[in-house]
Amino acid sequence: MTDALPARRLLLVHAHPDDEVTGTGATMAHYASTGAHVTLVTCTLGEEGEIHVPALAQLEAAQADQLGGYRLVELQRACAALGVTDHRFLGGAGRFRDSGMMGLETNNHPRAFWQADLDEAAAMLVEIIREVRPQVMITYDPNGFYGHPDHIQAHRVAMRAAELAGADGPQKIYWTAMPRSVLKEGMEAFRQLDDNPFAGVENVEDLPFGHADDEIAARIDGTDHYDRKTAAMKAHATQIPDNSWLYGIAGDFGGEFMGVEFFLLAQGERGPGEGPHGWESDLFSGLALEQPAAAGESAAR
């Protein structure tokens, strides 16, 4: 990297390939389209993921164990669809392995991200932070949004790295989130779909995620880019099958659900917002933006 970075710089820390699309794809495409520098850090190759392409079934961990290399290419294609040109794997591709779902034996693999030394992994992220100097960082909440060990670990690593980076760290940190009011609307709308992700759920409070509207800090409207988000999902073909309910949303409701994403503010000062809850419409709201110093100069501080 040189010192010729744009004035607005956004860093996202995700656990596996495809996580970046489902929770933050519209936000990434939105900021990339405005000229902001968007850096995506992915912590694992997603080796333990399910495979929804029958011809590739033998790539699974229990057989050829080549899924991670395939998903690396899928991630490259997804980033291209979103307009994101700066993507890194934490510690380099393959440094940390997908831990699988909580409680599985895969959690104990010696390279499992769940087993990573927190300060060691955070130091790897600090190097990226000091190079890019993002004012804003996005990751998950302490429960990893829904409890996956790698999501929880990504949260821990991101927050620890921000602490270790000191003055070079982001001024604002957001966690991905979903307002309960939107979940309630979604539950009603999705009842029309054959593949209803909320089947069997009676109350929104029964879901392992969701926040009161007044806890949400930001609503990013990326509806103009939901087609990019859909294209990025299609790039992750091994993980998101053609009959996924996500495409049902894209086809039936378009940008109404696919293109709007929400965030909690975990660190920093909330900027000016709008609407009854004062939600920010820009993650950089309230920040005084400056060009970063050269990477060598910032590291020397």
Tens-level pLDDT at each residue, the chain (301 residues): 445 789 999 999 999 999 999 999 999 999 999 999 999 999 999 999 999 999 999 999 999 999 999 999 999 999 999 999 999 999 999 999 999 999 999 999 999 999 999 999 999 999 999 999 999 999 999 999 999 999 999 999 999 999 999 999 999 999 999 998 888 887 776 666 666 666 666 677 777 788 999 999 999 999 999 899 999 999 999 999 888 767 666 555 556 677 999 999 999 999 999 999 999 999 999 998 876 655 444 433 3
Domain assignment present for 185:
no
How confident is the model over 121-159, as pLDDT tens digits?
999 999 999 999 999 999 999 999 999 999 999 999 999
Buried b (16+ CB within 10 A) or exposed e, 230-258: bbbbbbbbbbbeeeebbbbbbeebebebb
d(CA 32, CA 129): 18
d(CA 299, CA 112): 30
The pTM assigned to this predicted structure is: 0.91
Domain assignment present for 196:
no
Dihedral over Cα of 107, 24, 262, 192: its sign:
negative
pLDDT of residue 299: 39
Domain assignment present for 77:
yes
| CATH number of the domain encompassing residue 64 | 3.40.50.10320
pLDDT of residue 135: 98
8 Å CB contact between 53 and 102: no
pLDDT of residue 104: 97
How confident is the model over 200-234, as pLDDT tens digits?
666 777 777 889 999 999 999 999 998 999 999 99
pLDDT of residue 301: 34
Domain assignment present for 195:
no
Domain assignment present for 4:
no
d(CA 5, CA 134): 10
- C-alpha to C-alpha distances, 185 to 10, 155, 179, nearest whole angstrom: 30, 28, 10
State both tokens at 75: 């991630």
How many domains are contained in the chain?
A: 1
pLDDT of residue 293: 57
Domain assignment present for 13:
yes
Domain assignment present for 188:
no
Q: What is the domain range of residue 26? A: 9-176+213-286
Domain assignment present for 80:
yes
